[in-house]
Amino acid sequence: MTEKPDTTPARAWFMQIAGVGFFAGLVLVVDWAVRHTGLPLPAPVVAMALLVLGLGLQKRVPRTLDAGAGLLFRIFPLLFIPPLVALVAVGDILLRQWLVLLFAVTASTFIGLAVTALLFRAFRKTGGRA
């Protein structure tokens, strides 16, 4: 007889909070390291690269990180509120530079979509293996 994993609401909540805590802690530690080494890269980019490297070497996503990522995806729309409030503060720049901003956002969106599609095709051909 195999044991079922504990999936009580309290356990699920703890897993989510621990996963989000891991992500936040990773970014904070990497931010500290980047500031003290003078590495000319944004700390979140370095943290993401380390996360991808670690998960790639492990070849699986731990349940805690999966739960934390699920929580972050559910609250993702809330993360747009501070940047939208900041846009109100720089409204005059938006009005003067709207064409440049429109081009930059449109171009970066299409580039992101193209890269995503190419990666999807590559992984689909290899069966999901890198």
Nearest to 7 by CA among 63, 56, 74: 63
pLDDT for 31: 94
Instruction: Give the pLDDT score at 85.
Output: 85
pLDDT tens by residue, the chain, 130 residues: 455 556 688 888 899 999 999 999 999 999 999 999 998 989 989 999 999 999 889 888 899 999 999 999 999 888 888 888 888 888 888 889 999 989 999 999 999 999 999 988 888 887 766 5
Note the pLDDT of residue 112.
93
The alpha carbons of the chain give a radius of gyration, in whole angstroms, of: 19
Structural contact between residues 30 and 46, judged by C-beta atoms closer than 8 angstroms: yes
Could you tell me where the beta strands, DSSP code E, fall in 1-130? none
Say what the pTM is.
0.60
Domain ranges of the chain: 1-74, 80-130
Give pLDDT, residue 5. 58
The answer to whether 46 and 34 are in contact (CB under 8 A) is: yes
Find the helix or strand (DSSP H, E) in which 21 lies.
helix 9-37
* Amino acid present at 22: F
pLDDT of residue 1: 46
Helix, strand, coil % over all residues of the chain, rounded to 5: 80, 0, 20
**In this predicted structure, what is the pLDDT of residue 4?**
56
